Amino acid sequence: MAIRFAVTRQDNIVTDAEIVRYRRDGFVLPKTCLSEDDTAMLQEAVERVLHDNPDWHNLLRMPHIPARDGQDEGVIGGEELFKIALHPTLISVARRLVGPNVIMWGGEIFAKPPSIGKATPWHQDNYTPNVKPGPERSSAASAMIWIAVDNVDKENGCLRFIPGSGRSGTLGHSSHQDAGKMLNFEVDTKQIDESQAVDAELKSGHFSVHDPYVVHGANANTSGRRRAGLTFHYMAAEDIYDRSFGVAYGSGRNKAAQVGRRPIWLVSGENRHPDNDFAVGHQSLEDLDAYAEDVRLEINRQHASRVTA
């Protein structure tokens, strides 16, 4: 698998002011976006995956993992989305927000159909945590990049954030069995001020980034347009991907997420936590492993050359 995208340093991909907003609010909508060509490539790859994996019910987990022997959550066509997960723009965003040592550990396609797309209740991503802080770290550094495949806005149920809602850490959540919602858990709304919600309206190819603590959700898609977004998760390699967590339920599909057996990849810098396991879940993924290592080495080379220049 040759590297698809040019790997160049992008130190200003997230500005200093945007980093301040991310630290304060728990999310940011960077001005930078993917190029028109890369956006078109992303859209085509997502459309193929949705077409070839029709049983997606608003959500398709781990779309960057190809359906191969030994894979619990693989999809047909995952190879192309894996390359997008390692796009240098996305890794540069992760470097700016979680640090130079980066692990890519998950992803989803959220594709809410026209008129029947389910609501996503207010929640925190760390309610079911599998990323834990490393030694002498008060909290784990992890970021979800949510890339708009379609144009997303209030009419078709864009993502919404409560600024600063994660400053107190994990909030109380309750379980429910509401078939009209994407998740079977949600935050106690007495702990947040919904009037402060910010709508993350995005043109295709643009993206939002949020941390594991900020409260977010989305209204149902009652419009006549689909609302599709492609997400990838990145974490600091100083922290640990906790495989003892096992499985996660309630994320929109009948089958539980095999969180403890998912493959993860080091995509920038070096691994700083000896308990991060880069072998579990990698059955039949040797070509993806080689691609990720080539990307990591090139990113490291680019940053090292700037330091020594």
Across the range 178-194, mean pLDDT stands at 70
Nearest to 165 by CA among 129, 130, 217, 124: 124
Domain residue spans in the chain?
A: 16-301
Q: Is the pLDDT of residue 305 over 70?
A: yes
pTM: 0.93
Q: Tell me how far CA of residue 79 lies from CA of 157, 285, 286, 288, 305, in angstroms.
A: 28, 10, 12, 8, 30
The per-residue pLDDT for range 75-109, each reduced to its tens digit, is 999 999 999 999 999 999 999 999 999 999 999 99
3, two tokens: 């590297």
**Confidence at residue 225, expressed as pLDDT on a 0 to 100 scale:** 95
Nearest to 122 by CA among 80, 167, 174, 78: 174
204, two tokens: 């295709």
Percent of the chain clearing pLDDT 90 (strictly above): 66
- Tell me, rounded to whole angstroms, the distance of Cα 190 from its chain centroid: 27
Collect all residues with Cβ–Cβ distance below 8 Å to 126 and sequence separation of at least 6: 140, 170, 212, 213
**Confidence at residue 274, expressed as pLDDT on a 0 to 100 scale:** 96
User: Tokens 């991907």 map to which residue?
Assistant: 241
DSSP character at residue 126: G
Q: How confident is the model at residue 183 (pLDDT cuts 50, 70, 90)?
A: low
Higher per-residue pLDDT: 255 or 24? 24
- Rounded distance, CA 17 to CA 275, Å? 34
Dmax (CA) of the chain: 58
Contact in structure between 126 and 161 (CB atoms under 8 Å): no
Q: How confident is the model at residue 258 (pLDDT cuts 50, 70, 90)?
A: confident
Contact in structure between 91 and 134 (CB atoms under 8 Å): no
Strands (E), 62-184: 102-112, 120-123, 131-132, 142-148, 159-161, 173-175
Higher per-residue pLDDT: 136 or 186? 136
**Confidence at residue 127, expressed as pLDDT on a 0 to 100 scale:** 65
The per-residue pLDDT for range 36-66, each reduced to its tens digit, is 999 999 999 999 999 999 877 788 889 999 9
Across the range 296-302, mean pLDDT stands at 95
Which class would CATH give 16-301?
mainly beta
